[in-house]
Structure formats: C-alpha cells, structure tokens
C-alpha cells in the first residue's frame, strides 16, 4: 500500500523560490512509490482564520475547506515546506494549518525549511515542530534545511552544485523516517482506535 502524503507549501509572494523545494520533495517521494499531492496554500485560498472547519455546521463549510479536510483526514503523513519571515513561520501556511485540528491527529509530519541565505529557514522549521506537535501530529526528527535555495535547486526543482548534492544525500533518511512513521501510525490506527 502506497503512503498517501500531502506536501504543504505556504508562500504567497510573487517570486516564490521555496516552491522549488516543494517540487523536489514531491518528485522524490513519488520516485519512492508514495502517492503524493502538493497542497499550495495560495491556490487553496482559505480566508484569514475566523471559523475553524469544525465550527461550521455539517455540510456548510466552504467547498475548498471541505475538500481539504477530506484530503487531510485520509492522508498517512504530511510534509510542511516552510520559509522564514523574521525568524518565524510564513503566515499563509500557518493560516491554512490553523483551520483544522482533529483532522491532523495521529499522523506523522515532517518539516523542510529554506531561505535565500545560509540559515536555511531553520528558525522557522524549529517553531513548526512545536506547532505541529501541539496539533496532534508526531513530528519526525529528520528535517531538510535548504539555503541558499537558489544555489541548491534550479527553477524546476532539480539539485545543483555541492549544495544540491548535500540535499540529495539528506533526502533518503528524511523520506525513510517519514515512511517508517506513516506505516507505524497506520498500523496502530488499524489495530486500535485513537483515544480521542
């Protein structure tokens, strides 16, 4: 059974470099046999959080929110691709994530960060570990940190130079870690209902 993995990306900027990392991850997971879908927060276009999905009476949530809730509920694992704005998470990705809660529970999440500079978005990535854990996900210990992104991945998400080679070396462990937790969580959910 192929793991169903959602890869989330949240930049709303016009010149989005981080989409290169999202494309790289999607292609890498697909090459390993996973069933992967790219979820672009800008394309989904949820409004600024006013009412969470669970706060809508059944059947009245906006169509885009309803469709995304179903995708989240039926996924085996998640990858969050995040840039760093002033040491923190991108608001577009955080806003999308906050619309849901129970839908995330009991599945693993992975964090991949990036920046235009040498810090590779790691400060934002570190913050995401706490956020995702609080939202009921098991955050895997393997991470990807890419920077400068323009020297690591080309416009089509293909690795370039020494930095790209380093990313390729790191990706296998990242993907293996996520696959292990996805299988473990799926098996446990089939064996025993979650406690809440």
**What average pLDDT does the structure give for the chain?**
96
Distance of CA 157 to the CA centre of its chain: 16
How many other CB atoms are there within 10 angstroms of residue 95's CB atom?
17
Computed on alpha carbons and rounded to an integer, the radius of gyration of the chain in Å comes to: 16
Q: List Cβ neighbours of 100 (8 Å cut-off, separation of 6 or more).
A: 52, 53, 54, 68, 69, 72
**pLDDT tens column, 1-26:** 899 999 999 999 988 999 999 999 99
Q: Give the pLDDT score at 87.
A: 86
Per-residue confidence at 143, pLDDT binned at 50, 70, 90?
Answer: very high
The verdict on domain 4-191 having CATH code 3.40.50.360 is yes
Of the pLDDT bands very low, low, confident and very high (cuts 50, 70, 90), residue 86 is confident
In our burial notation (b when 16+ CB lie closer than 10 A, e otherwise), range 135-146 reads: bbbebbebbbbb
Domain spans of the chain, in order of start? 4-191
In whole angstroms, give the CA distance from residue 72 to residue 67. Answer: 9
Mean pLDDT, rounded, for 62-89: 95
Average pLDDT over residues 139-146: 96
88 pLDDT exceeds 90? no
As a whole number, mean pLDDT of residues 58-67 equals 96
> What is the pLDDT, as a whole number, of residue 185?
97
Chain centroid to CA 49: how far?
Answer: 19
CA 28, 29, 33, 39 dihedral sign is negative
pLDDT at residue 117 in the model: 87
C-alpha span between 80 and 22 (Å, rounded): 9
Q: What is the pTM of this model?
A: 0.96
59 contact partners, CB below 8 Å, separation of at least 6? none
Q: Is 182 exposed, middle or buried (0-12, 13-18, 19+ CB in 10 A)?
A: buried
pLDDT score of 138 more than 90 = yes
Instruction: For 152-191, write each residue's pLDDT tens digit.
Output: 999 999 999 999 999 999 999 999 999 999 999 999 999 9
pLDDT of residue 187: 96
The dihedral of CA 77, 83, 87, 91: what is its sign? negative
Q: Give pLDDT tens digits for 93-128.
A: 999 999 999 999 999 999 999 998 888 999 999 999
What was the pLDDT predicted at 1?
81
Angstrom distance (rounded) from CA 168 to CA 75: 25
């Amino acid at each position: 059974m192929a793991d169903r993995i959602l890869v989330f990306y949240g930049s709303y900027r016009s010149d989005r470099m981080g989409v290169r990392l999202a494309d790289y991850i999607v292609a890498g997971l697909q090459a390993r046999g996973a069933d992967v879908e790219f979820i672009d927060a800008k394309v989904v276009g949820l409004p600024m959080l006013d009412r969470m999905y669970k706060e809508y009476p059944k059947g009245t949530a906006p169509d885009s929110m309803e469709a995304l809730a179903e995708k989240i509920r039926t996924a085996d694992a998640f990858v969050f691709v995040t840039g760093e704005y002033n040491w923190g998470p991108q608001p577009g990705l955080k806003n999308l994530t906050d619309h849901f809660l129970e839908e995330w529970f009991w599945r693993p999440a992975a964090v991949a960060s990036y920046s235009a500079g040498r810090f590779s978005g790691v400060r934002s990535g570190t913050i995401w570990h706490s956020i995702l854990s609080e939202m009921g996900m098991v955050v895997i210990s393997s991470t990807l940190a890419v920077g400068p992104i323009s020297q690591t991945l080309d416009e089509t998400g293909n690795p370039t130079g020494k930095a790209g080679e380093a990313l390729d070396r790191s990706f296998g462990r990242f993907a293996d870690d996520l696959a292990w937790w996805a299988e473990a969580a799926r098996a446990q959910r089939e064996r025993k209902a979650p406690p809440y």
